[in-house]
Amino acid sequence: MATKKYVYFFGGGKAEGTSEQKRLLGGKGAGLAQMTNIGLPVPPGFTLTTEACSEYYSKGRKWPVGLKKQVEANLAKLEKLTGKKLGDVDDPLLISVRSGAFVSMPGMMETILNLGMNDQSVEGLTARTGNARFAYDAYRRFIMMYASTAMGLSKDEFEGEFERFKHTVVAKRLGRRKGESVEDTDVTGEELKQLCEILKGKYEKMVGESFPQAPMDQLRGSIDAVFNSWMAEKAVTYRRVEKISESEVSGTGVNICTMVYGNKGETSGTGVAFTRDPNTGKNEFYGDYLFNAQGEDVVAGIRTPVRLTELQKQDKKVYEQLMAVRDKLERHYKDMQDLEFTVEEGTLYMLQTRRGKRAPVATFRIAVEMVDEGLITEEEAVCRITPDDIERLFYPAIDTKIAKKDLADATLTTGINAVPGAAAGDVFFTASAAEEAAATGRRVILVRKETSPEDVGGMHAARGILTQTGGKTSHAAVVARGWGKCCIVGCEALRIDYDKKRMTIDGVTIKEGESLTLDGNTGQVFKGDFPLVDPKLPKEFDRLMAWVDRLRTVKVRTNADTADDSKKAIEMGAEGIGLCRTEHMFFDTQDRIDAIREMIIADNCDDRIKALKKLLPYQRRDFEKIFKAMDGMPVNIRLIDPPLHEFVPHDKKGQKDLAKKIGIKYATVKNRVEQLHEFNPMLGHRGCRLAITFPEILDMQVRAIMEAACKVAQKGVKVYPEIMIPLTMAERELEILSDRVRKLATAILKEKKLTKRNVPYTVGTMIEIPRAALTADKIARHADFFSFGTNDLTQTTMGLSRDDAGRFLPDYVDEKKAGVFRSDPFQVLDQEGVGELVKIGIEKGRSVKPKLKIGICGEHGGELESVKFCVRAGMNYVSCSPYRVPIARLAAAQQAIEDK
């Protein structure tokens, strides 16, 4: 039986693999194969497939049958091609061994260089190069790398031996005094030989076996080391953190490559380069070069490299070779590439190519310019942008000039990175303190155990928000995301003492008014006030987003509760409001919250109506402002949704104050608040259930909406109010309430001497309960539109409380633990379950009203995969927080391109 092909050769101008085989060969292996194929100077070698690695694991860390033979055969082929032999005493072949998985994985094994060095071949290399220092330095490096990288011994132990050697033997020879430095280059060949003996001795002492002399043993040990590094804790952690599924990447490839040396004098050197500037995207060759050095020296930062322009000056020939390579690679890959190369005595060798990582700004510039250059199409450019690219364009960041060590020293803990960007300022623990401090011009960080609608004022005043509990869809996260405000949640190490106005993280105490810096990209919390840099939109952003808008087929709206949000959203490209929550307005001023509380505490309809009358002018004014801001665009307004207990004070003082204000007994207030308690508020008396019980609340809100609409319409503003009834679960609810809304709206239009032509309002409902989706054909009879509230729909469909899921959901999305879901279903729509109900709801709704307008207004409306799902499901629009609007536009375009 023929065994599987586990090894792919490259060299002599052609390779067995191609760049298409990235999954099989790993990124590095595919790059080496492809570069060989397109005629670039790649040192010959061969790649062990990722499959070899996965079979190594499935066989309990044993090489699969046939692998050994194939390695030997390919090594023989390599020896034949190079005319050298591994371990040869005259002219030894030396090779490097590198890992390389399908996706780049920093946690994995570093390179082993100079494999093939042993007590014989070091002499051969000395003879061949006439340079004992070079040969023994190579041997010394190999022993140290093999010991640490392949055998997992402490690197510091071997480095320590080297240092000790330099400061004793070498320093003595040089007559240096204690404390004076000795450079690596001060060490002679003979001394390095002596050092190699010391290192081998240390190796033997630590391992219990002598340092392997047989090159095949060295190779086998190195390959095993690469295989084993795949399951090393840091690699596993990296995959988990980056949500790289084990089923997607089954193992690492192993690349064995002929050694080339950049440290053979001034005509040698080594470099890393990007085909374009990765920071700005500018179309110019960008990189660093180190004369007379090996690649690891560049990485180690032992000497300061020069810019490539310096190479151009000093070695024009090599530079031109490199420029030709650059062109060839960009023409082939049609993308900016990240290269590693070595020049050995004037000859260029390419060691690696891969897609170059780049700053968000550069992503846009490169994509747009490559379209201009005819390298890629507009569609391809659009498909290259990721949500992260967009998101990071808009947020401030901690100044990159700050030393990494300073940041590391200041790090307190890491929470959940709910909203990206960075924020620095002074800590306050209550919304009111935050507001007061902000009013005096201070930059404020609001720190809370958790946030609630009462905190919204303080949250708005703050630069950044930090909470102890909650996940990416907690109240804090959702509200902060709406404002694009840096937010870190679920910061479990945080302890807050509200009474003493201080917080503690792992023993470090920070008092009110002391400073803190948050990095919303990483979730890191730093003590102190670090400088931030503001974002700047590249001019290419607009061009690319214009292509996006031309390509997409669905509208993108925004979730916005104020005129300011609305304006911001229009800047971000929103084409309407998909969700205007009215309850936040109640917290805006003390008058308002007093009125709503009076309404709630009232025990009869008349008193409720009296209190509601106080609220009416406020809401009407808010709506007027929003309608003006959204002139000509639809504004979808959701009637009151949260349970009433969210609005009332739960502390004694607050209740006493309220009793005094309304002029009733404290006991009455206390009693009423207690009555409002719910076991499961998520499934309680809220949404349209409130409007059924207290229709006067709906009346006030509809009046505010319609009177505002009439007023602005009379001033020439084009206004399209969409009145949305939340939490419908049955046809009859919507029948009752939509009738009531329509009757009242008609009456108000008549009062104002206007018609529906002037104010073409519509009435519809949220679909956010499974039963609503299941009976959407009946509900649609009374609705002009549906808006899928996928936050609540996810909670009910999964039986999963967003506020409580923190206890087990992390395990559920952790592949190494339960691995039930690939992502947090509150961030990425659960297409299999919740999505199924969305599809049922759309199908049933349209079966009755084929032109029913349908959108989404949950958090998912700003997430790439979820938006794409919505497009496929046939929605007319998606809606998300202002800062996510460009992402939604992008997602919609990408799905439109896929659909072509």
Binding flag, residue 604, its own copies (CB under 8 A): no
Binding flag, residue 818, its own copies (CB under 8 A): yes
- Cβ distance to its own copies smaller for residue 688 or 887: 688
Q: Please name the residues in contact with 735: beta carbons below 8 A apart, sequence gap of 6 or more.
A: 781, 782
Q: In this chain, which of 141, 495, 689, 849 binds its own copies, going by CB under 8 A?
A: 689
What residue type is assigned to position 368 of the chain? Answer: V
Q: How far from 133 is each of 122, 127, 503, CA to CA, in Å?
A: 10, 11, 58
- Cβ distance to its own copies smaller for residue 374 or 799: 799
We find the least distance from the C-beta atom of residue 101 to its own copies, in angstroms, to be: 24
Q: In this chain, which of 183, 209, 651, 832 binds its own copies, going by CB under 8 A?
A: 832
Q: In this chain, which of 144, 834, 873, 888 binds its own copies, going by CB under 8 A?
A: 834
From the list 196, 460, 475, 688, the catalytic residue is 475
59 φ/ψ angles, rounded to the nearest 5 degrees: -95, 15
We find the least distance from the C-beta atom of residue 898 to its own copies, in angstroms, to be: 25
We find the least distance from the C-beta atom of residue 790 to its own copies, in angstroms, to be: 13
* Nearest alpha carbon to residue 597 among 453, 708, 766: 453
Start-to-end Cα distance in the chain: 44
Q: How far is CA 679 from its chain centroid?
A: 36
Are 491 and 513 in contact, with CB atoms under 8 Å apart? no
Residues 790-809 that bind its own copies (CB under 8 A): 792, 795-801, 803-805, 807-808
We find the least distance from the C-beta atom of residue 431 to its own copies, in angstroms, to be: 20
Question: What secondary structure letter does DSSP report for 2?
Answer: P
- Cβ distance to its own copies smaller for residue 91 or 803: 803
- Cβ distance to its own copies smaller for residue 528 or 833: 833
Site string for its own copies, 693-712 (x = CB under 8 A): x-------------------
- Cβ distance to its own copies smaller for residue 157 or 803: 803
Q: How far is CA 131 from its chain centroid?
A: 50
Binding flag, residue 811, its own copies (CB under 8 A): yes
Q: In this chain, which of 20, 320, 571, 836 binds its own copies, going by CB under 8 A?
A: 836
Query: Quick one: which segment of 22-30, 355-363, 483-491, 679-687 binds its own copies (CB under 8 A)?
Result: 679-687
Rounded CA-CA distance 777/792 in Å is 20
Rounded CA-CA distance 243/813 in Å is 9
We find the least distance from the C-beta atom of residue 819 to its own copies, in angstroms, to be: 6
Are 324 and 38 in contact, with CB atoms under 8 Å apart? no
We find the least distance from the C-beta atom of residue 769 to its own copies, in angstroms, to be: 4
- Helix and strand counts by DSSP (H, E) for the chain: 36, 34
We find the least distance from the C-beta atom of residue 798 to its own copies, in angstroms, to be: 5
- Cβ distance to its own copies smaller for residue 346 or 833: 833
Site string for its own copies, 744-783 (x = CB under 8 A): ------------------------xxxx--xx--------
Are 881 and 482 in contact, with CB atoms under 8 Å apart? yes
* Nearest alpha carbon to residue 320 among 328, 310, 312: 312
We find the least distance from the C-beta atom of residue 682 to its own copies, in angstroms, to be: 4
Are 52 and 6 in contact, with CB atoms under 8 Å apart? yes
63 φ/ψ angles, rounded to the nearest 5 degrees: -65, 135
Active site residue 196: no
Q: Tokens for 661, please give them.
A: 């204000």
For 640-678, give one letter per residue: b (16+ CB within 10 A) or e. bbbbbbbbbbeeeeebebbbeebebeeeebbebbeebee
Query: Quick one: which segment of 8-16, 98-106, 150-158, 675-683 binds its own copies (CB under 8 A)?
Result: 675-683
* Nearest alpha carbon to residue 560 among 487, 647, 633, 662: 633
Active site residue 857: yes
- Cβ distance to its own copies smaller for residue 34 or 795: 795
- Cβ distance to its own copies smaller for residue 314 or 469: 469
Rounded CA-CA distance 540/542 in Å is 5
DSSP lists the bridge partners of residue 445 as 427, 464
Binding flag, residue 338, its own copies (CB under 8 A): no
Q: In this chain, which of 366, 837, 864, 878 binds its own copies, going by CB under 8 A?
A: 837
We find the least distance from the C-beta atom of residue 578 to its own copies, in angstroms, to be: 21
Count of other CB atoms within 10 angstroms of residue 605: 11
- Cβ distance to its own copies smaller for residue 29 or 643: 643
Backbone angle region of 95, left / alpha / beta, with phi > 0 → left and psi within -120 to 50 → alpha = beta
Q: Please name the residues in contact with 122: beta carbons below 8 A apart, sequence gap of 6 or more.
A: 135, 136, 138, 139, 196
Q: Please name the residues in contact with 665: beta carbons below 8 A apart, sequence gap of 6 or more.
A: 659
Residues 726-745 that bind its own copies (CB under 8 A): 727, 729-730, 732-733, 736
- Cβ distance to its own copies smaller for residue 546 or 820: 820
Q: In this chain, which of 692, 717, 848, 897 binds its own copies, going by CB under 8 A?
A: 692
Strands (E), 39-120: 45-48, 85-86, 92-93, 95-101, 112-115
We find the least distance from the C-beta atom of residue 678 to its own copies, in angstroms, to be: 4
Backbone angle region of 680, left / alpha / beta, with phi > 0 → left and psi within -120 to 50 → alpha = beta
Binding flag, residue 509, its own copies (CB under 8 A): no
Strand order of the β-sheet with 494-497 is 494-497, 502-505, 508-511
We find the least distance from the C-beta atom of residue 838 to its own copies, in angstroms, to be: 11
250 φ/ψ angles, rounded to the nearest 5 degrees: -95, -10
Q: Please name the residues in contact with 564: beta carbons below 8 A apart, sequence gap of 6 or more.
A: none
Residues 547-566 that bind its own copies (CB under 8 A): none
Number of residues that bind its own copies (CB under 8 A): 48
Residues 467-486 that bind its own copies (CB under 8 A): none
- Cβ distance to its own copies smaller for residue 72 or 836: 836
From the list 257, 857, 870, 880, the catalytic residue is 857
We find the least distance from the C-beta atom of residue 53 to its own copies, in angstroms, to be: 25
* Nearest alpha carbon to residue 287 among 309, 302, 318: 309
Q: In this chain, which of 681, 718, 760, 791 binds its own copies, going by CB under 8 A?
A: 681
The enclosing H or E element of 764 equals: strand 762-767
Q: In this chain, which of 151, 153, 236, 683 binds its own copies, going by CB under 8 A?
A: 683
**Catalytic machinery residues:** 475, 857
Q: Which residues bind its own copies (CB under 8 A)?
A: 678-685, 689, 692-693, 727, 729-730, 732-733, 736, 768-771, 774-775, 792, 795-801, 803-805, 807-808, 811-812, 818-821, 830, 832-834, 836-837
